[in-house]
Amino acid sequence: MNIIEAENVTKTYTIGDRQISVLDNISLVVSTAEFLVVEGSSGSGKTTLLSLLSGLDKPTTGRVFIEETDITDTSEDDLAPLRNEMIGFVFQAFHLVPSLTAVENVMFPAELRHDPQAFEKAQNLLGRVGLDRRGTNFPHQLSGGEMQRVAMCRALINNPKIIFADEPTGNLDSENGKAILDLLLEFHRERQSTLVLVTHNAEIARMADRMIVLHDGRIIQEVRDDHQRTA
């Protein structure tokens, strides 16, 4: 079964009298429980593609579906609860709320759902990433690796069906990067969640079920099961 589908998606921006094309007529299907890597040079459209697939942004033309529901023209008010319940986001920038403690940052998505077990779930997740004693610390009291682990726990607390990760290890050293990746893959396997990950790391890409390569807003290559083809 397919969980995400993009049909002939384009994204353009108008700057002054210039029109800049970021994505050019992309069609893509992502299966339930698939681990998909999106690769490409800077400016190729990777982050924009994730934003469109997740409903954070809307395409200029084309359609995007999540679980066969067309989200292209869905209002932000209707999209927000869908994203909170179905989707987890992990970005290179941590986007933690500075006035909240680590455990409060993790709890936040669950509290939006009025989950009575929000605190317990947050504590358990922090324990899994070795931060059980750091729950009362604020983001400015944490290292970069610790902040990314908090952001990861926040993304996972609602047990999302889909995880979007945009260069989640890009700002981390190799040890912290490995810890973040291990947790993502562990969650993906345990919960059979769909994982869509942007990375430049060839080692990570080799772990995926499939990899697509973007160039100038187009899919130019796809690799699946060690068989390569050019789009």
In this predicted structure, what is the pLDDT of residue 182? 86
This prediction's pTM: 0.90
Q: Is the pLDDT at 191 greater than 70, yes or no? A: yes
Q: Is the pLDDT at 48 greater than 80, yes or no? A: yes
Alpha-carbon gap, residue 125 to 122, rounded angstroms: 5
In this predicted structure, what is the pLDDT of residue 227? 47
In this predicted structure, what is the pLDDT of residue 226? 55
Q: Is the pLDDT at 52 greater than 70, yes or no? A: yes
Q: Is the pLDDT at 228 greater than 60, yes or no? A: no
Say what percent of the chain tops pLDDT 90.
Answer: 67
Q: How many domains does the chain have?
A: 1
Residue type, 99: S
Q: In terms of pLDDT, which residue wins out, 206 or 24?
A: 24
In this predicted structure, what is the pLDDT of residue 158? 94
Q: Contact, 6 vs 214, CB < 8 A?
A: no
Domain, as residue range, for 204 = 2-230
Q: Contact, 71 vs 99, CB < 8 A?
A: no
Average pLDDT, integer, range 126-137: 92
Measured in whole angstroms, the distance separating CA 70 from the mean position of its chain's CA atoms is: 19
Condensed to tens digits (0 to 9), the pLDDT of residues 106-116 reads 999 999 999 99
In this predicted structure, what is the pLDDT of residue 84? 87
CA distances from 16 to 13, 19, 20, 44 (A): 10, 8, 10, 22
Condensed to tens digits (0 to 9), the pLDDT of residues 18-37 reads 889 999 999 999 999 999 99
Condensed to tens digits (0 to 9), the pLDDT of residues 94-105 reads 899 999 999 999
Say what percent of the chain tops pLDDT 70.
Answer: 97
In this predicted structure, what is the pLDDT of residue 225? 61
Q: Is the pLDDT at 230 greater than 60, yes or no? A: no
Q: Contact, 188 vs 37, CB < 8 A?
A: no
Which CATH number covers residue 87? 3.40.50.300
Cα dihedral: 129, 172, 118, 80 (round 10): -150
Q: Is the pLDDT at 181 greater than 90, yes or no? A: no
Average pLDDT, integer, range 176-183: 83
Q: Is the pLDDT at 229 greater than 50, yes or no? A: no
Please name the residues in contact with 118: beta carbons below 8 A apart, sequence gap of 6 or more: 107, 110, 111, 157
Average pLDDT, integer, range 133-150: 94
